[in-house]
Amino acid sequence: MQAELGKPSPFQPDKGKVSIYVDCSPTAAPVFEGRGGDELSAELSTALQRCLLGGKSGTGAGIDLSSLSIVEGKICWDLYIDGLVVSSDGNLLDALGAAIKAALSNTGIPKVQVAASAPSDGQPEVDISDEEFLQFDTSGVPVIVTLTKVGRHYIVDATSEEESQMSSAISVSVNRQGRICGLTKRGGAGLDPSVILDMVSVTKHVSEQLMNKLDSEISAAEACEEES
Amino acid sequence: MEFVSPEGFRLDGRRPMEMRQIRAEIGAVANADGSAVFEMGNTKVIAAVYGPREVQNRSQQINDQALVRCEYSMANFSTGDRMRKPKGDRRSTEISMVIRQTMEACIMTNLMPRSQIDIFVQVLQADGGTRSACINAATLALADAGIPMRDLVTSCSAGYLNSTPLLDLNYVEDSAGGPDVTVGILPKLDKVTLLQMDARLPIDMFENVMQLAIEGCKAVANYIREVLQENTKQLECRRGT
Amino acid sequence: MKSQTKTSTSSTNSPSSFVDQSVVSSYIDSSVLYVPGDVVLDLSSMANQTIKLGGGLHQFFGYIGGHRMGAGGKVQGVESPITLSSPISISFLYNCDAISVTKAGKLRFVKPNKYWVESSQKRYVPCVGDNVLGIVVDSKADNFLVDIKGPALAFLPVLSFEGGTRRNIPKFEVGTLIYVRVVKANTGVNPELSCTDATGKVAEYGPLKDGFTFESSTGLARMLLSSPTCPVLEGLGKKLSFEIAVGLNGRVWVNAEAPSTVILISNAIMNSESLSGVQQKIMVEKLLQRVQ
């Protein structure tokens, strides 16, 4: 996670900006060498953006963007989320979603003080505090669960061997309240709408388990860090 | 700026001849034939080796030895300022070539003609000495993959600031503008395979700084040997042989 | 680092390696494991003895002004070796032939004169006489191209089947799994395979149908093939009936009546890699209990 000061988009002056970028390292597979991993990286980046950041108008984002705003219309935080795939055995999207959630819970945005007397059209002066940090609120951040359809069954958390046989897959991002924040379907095979609804409800159920497990692991890790 | 205090302490509290903490782990990437993570202080590097296997591009096949390929990439979060383009820039290409030449010298390529060995090195955190960490990680990954080598290759860097030779520079010391000597050696054969230096250094000090780096390399070699022996022991003991 | 000068009475240019048995056996320490570059046998040329070098060892000639390399032998012995590790502390030699290690692992010795370094890898080094599981990648006029996880694809001549003539060449599709024997394995040449044993009979070689294949390390494959039967297979064999084929190149094929049995057996074998004999028995019992 990296946060830099930037100017908010004119369409959403009261929100910060987040950009997600995923890179596939050749250590995961020799085919990712040079430009080989670019296609997969782009696919993962856009899928993550769709699942976590909401639509073009910025509404319904899983990550609360208004908390990143400093001075409405003038200054905001640009949050860059960078992911790197080092070792791959299937189900990258779920793993990346979990990693982003864990990283966000560890992110602290420095407190910023805005100079009171600011010229009306120029850039206000800001003073970035080195000491105080605001912990990012991750209770609203969704978790991504991918269901892969192989033959007539759906499986959760597919390995790459299983993914090689899939006909299609649905990735759903669900937040703590059980609401769906984003949905992506991959694979060319057609799915019956009733099947899709069924898969989505299975995902909601699984996501609860995943969310609980993730939260407990994150708090355990934080406790360890505080001790050491 | 003062890099060595009058009492003899560097910016991070080390003595001039003291190396940073090193840590290594074998077998981090499950898919790879051999892999390792190597940390020198805050510099963290992961290396994966694929091979020896059939050459993918027939035109590059060499008839009497193995083709060794290497790619070095930095994660765009590895340095303090986020990098826009993690691959393909000139520094990455140069370091890829340096690592390839160093490892090729110690791999017994004539035992596997017409095959291909891929070494991929990924920098996760960069805090000075990335070149050395990459070579050390690549050595461990190659040993993990069982690729025949004449000897291990270990590497370490040394510099010269405030009239003191310093071992294992971190990023701040490296960017101070003083010389940075990177050395790679074959410890058992006692030969230098890699020697690079930038900035200026008086000739009479060069030998001291190089010797210091070589001592650092030998210390890394001892550590790597221990890690490999521990790894072999675990595999053997558990199988009850 | 100590350097030691030795006076050798024989020429250093002789092609075969010489070792003094008494020198070697006086350094028995079974806790030393080797790492690439370690010198293992210092060849003082007291006695005229030939030794055979297996995988992981290489002979280096004199060190004056650089080193020239000798060719290493490629014999491999496998059964119940005596572990011998000699911690020669000389690391820099003048005027001497030396055998040094090229792979990290444990040094093995079988009387009278075979030495090799044993280690476990994901890829395979082809050796004559090994039984391996290969996957057909392509078929040409004279050969099938088979992937055996080695540095090069192996050739399986279309005629090397029992009663094979030009008229009844078997048709293997790409992706067929076959159990074969390695006939030739020289560096620089693609290894050659055969579907018959030395006398020309079929003897269980050939394509394998159904079942499930998974990859393992070469060390796990050796353990599965060791005699007496390893604890995992023994434990599984007591309660379940299944067929299994293990390739020394790190591939295992399992077949049983029900898919659940196949999955159980595969998982048990994959888990047993890093477990000792007793732990393997316990693991198998736990898995079997869960099923029944």
Nearest to A30 among B47, B118, B122 (CB): B118
Query: What DSSP designation does C230 have?
Result: P
Residues A87 and A121 in one domain: yes
Residues A47 and A65 in one domain: yes
Residues C64-91 have pLDDT tens digits of 333 333 233 222 222 222 222 332 222 2
Residues B171-204 have pLDDT tens digits of 888 888 889 999 999 998 889 999 999 888 888 8
- What CATH number does the domain containing A90 carry? 3.30.230.70
pLDDT computed for residue B70 by the predictor: 94
Residues of chain B with C-beta less than 8 angstroms from the C-beta of C279: 238
Residue of B nearest to A21 (CA): B76
Residues A20 and A80 in one domain: yes
pLDDT computed for residue C145 by the predictor: 93
Answer whether residue A122 is part of any domain: yes
pLDDT computed for residue B139 by the predictor: 94
Residues B147-156 have pLDDT tens digits of 999 889 999 9
pLDDT averaged over consecutive 10-residue blocks of chain A (228 residues)? 75 76 88 85 87 64 71 78 87 88 82 66 66 73 87 86 86 83 81 86 87 86 80
Does B150 contact chain C (CB < 8 Å)? yes
Q: Say how far apart CA A178 and CA C133 lie, in whole Å.
A: 49
Nearest to B82 among A33, A34, A80 (CB): A80
Where do the domains of chain C lie?
1-118, 131-208, 212-291
Residues A119 and A222 in one domain: no
Neighbors of chain A with 3 or more C-beta pairs under 8 Å: B
Residues A121 and A189 in one domain: no
Are B71 and A26 inside 8 Å of each other by CB? yes
Residues A151 and A71 in one domain: no
Instruction: Identify the residue among C122, C155, C270, C271 best suited for mutation to test binding to B, counting B beta carbons within 10 A and taking the highest.
Output: C122
Tokens of A199: 């898969």
Residues C36-61 have pLDDT tens digits of 877 777 665 435 667 777 777 877 76
CATH number of C212-291: 3.30.1370.10
Instruction: Identify the residue among B188, B192, B193, B223 best suited for mutation to test binding to C, counting C beta carbons within 10 A and taking the highest.
Output: B188
Query: What DSSP designation does A77 have?
Result: E
Residues A129 and A156 in one domain: no
Are B229 and C120 inside 8 Å of each other by CB? no
Q: Say how far apart CA C60 and CA C50 lie, in whole Å.
A: 16
Does B50 contact chain A (CB < 8 Å)? yes
Residues A169 and A113 in one domain: no
* One-letter identity of residue C41: L
Distance from CA of A17 to the nearest CA of B (A): 16
Answer whether residue A75 is part of any domain: yes
Residues A130 and A147 in one domain: no
Does A31 contact chain B (CB < 8 Å)? no
pLDDT computed for residue A122 by the predictor: 58
pLDDT computed for residue A123 by the predictor: 63
Q: Say how far apart CA B169 and CA B130 lie, in whole Å.
A: 10
Tokens of A186: 């991959």
The CATH T-level fold of domain B22-239 is Ribosomal Protein S5; domain 2 (3.30.230)
In DSSP terms, A184 is beta-bridged to: A171
Are C121 and B238 inside 8 Å of each other by CB? no
Residues A126 and A148 in one domain: no
Q: What is the mean pLDDT of chain C?
A: 73
CA atoms within 13 A of residue C20's CA, in its CB half-sphere: 14
Q: Say how far apart CA B119 and CA B117 lie, in whole Å.
A: 7
pLDDT computed for residue C84 by the predictor: 28
Nearest to B238 among C36, C56, C276 (CB): C276
- The structure's pTM equals 0.84
Nearest to B30 among A80, A82, A89 (CB): A89
Based on C-alpha coordinates, what's the Rg of chain B? 18
Residue C35: pLDDT above 60? yes
pLDDT computed for residue C76 by the predictor: 29
Residues A127-163 have pLDDT tens digits of 777 776 777 777 778 888 888 888 888 888 888 888 8
Does B120 contact chain A (CB < 8 Å)? yes
Instruction: Identify the residue among A17, A20, A22, A27 best suited for mutation to test binding to B, counting B beta carbons within 10 A and taking the highest.
Output: A27
User: What is the pLDDT averaged over residues B62-87?
Assistant: 82
Classify domain C131-208 by CATH architecture: Beta Barrel (2.40)
Write out the H or E segment, with its range, that includes residue C281: helix C277-291
Counted domains in chain A: 2
Tokens of A98: 């979990």
Residue of B nearest to C145 (CA): B54
Residues A177 and A195 in one domain: yes
Does B59 contact chain A (CB < 8 Å)? no
Residues B197-236 have pLDDT tens digits of 988 888 888 999 999 999 999 999 999 999 998 888 877 7
Are B234 and C274 inside 8 Å of each other by CB? yes
Whole-number Cα distances in Å, B107 to A48, B65, B112, B145, C219:
41, 10, 10, 12, 22
User: What is the pLDDT averaged over residues C144-149?
Assistant: 92
Q: How many CB pairs under 8 A join A and B?
A: 65
pLDDT computed for residue A112 by the predictor: 75
Are B239 and C102 inside 8 Å of each other by CB? no
Range of the domain at A66: 2-96+106-135
Nearest to B190 among C92, C100, C275 (CB): C92
Nearest to B29 among A82, A84, A87 (CB): A87
Q: What is the 3-state secondary structure (H, E, C) of chain B?
A: CCCECCCCCECCCCCCCCCCCEEEEECCCCCCCEEEEEEECCEEEEEEEEEEEECCCHHHCCCCCCEEEEEEEECCCCCCCCCCCCCCCHHHHHHHHHHHHHHHHHECHHHCCCEEEEEEEEEEECCCCHHHHHHHHHHHHHHHCCCCECCCCEEEEEEEECCEEEECCCHHHHCCCCCEEEEEEECCCCEEEEEEEECCCCHHHHHHHHHHHHHHHHHHHHHHHHHHHHHHHHHHHHHCC
Residues A70 and A158 in one domain: no
Residues of chain A with C-beta less than 8 angstroms from the C-beta of B84: none
Is the bond preceding B187 in cis, omega lying within 30 degrees of 0?
A: no
* Residue C79 · residue C35 · CB < 8 Å: no
Q: Does ipTM exceed 0.85?
A: no
pLDDT computed for residue C61 by the predictor: 64
Q: How confident is the model at residue B142 (pLDDT cuts 50, 70, 90)?
A: very high
Residues of chain B with C-beta less than 8 angstroms from the C-beta of C69: 108, 110
Greatest CA separation for chain A: 66
For helices B130-144 and B203-239, give the axis angle rounded to 10 degrees.
30
Distance from CA of C173 to the nearest CA of B (A): 20
User: What is the pLDDT averaged over residues C193-211?
Assistant: 86
Are A27 and B77 inside 8 Å of each other by CB? no
Which burial class, exposed, middle or buried, applies to B31 when counting CB atoms under 10 A from its CB (0-12, 13-18, 19+)? middle
pLDDT computed for residue A87 by the predictor: 87
Q: Is A66 helix (H, G, I), strand (E, B) or coil?
A: helix
Does B46 contact chain A (CB < 8 Å)? yes
Are A84 and B32 inside 8 Å of each other by CB? no
User: What is the pLDDT averaged over residues C130-154?
Assistant: 92
In this predicted structure, which of A9-18, B116-125, C117-126 has the lowest mean pLDDT? A9-18
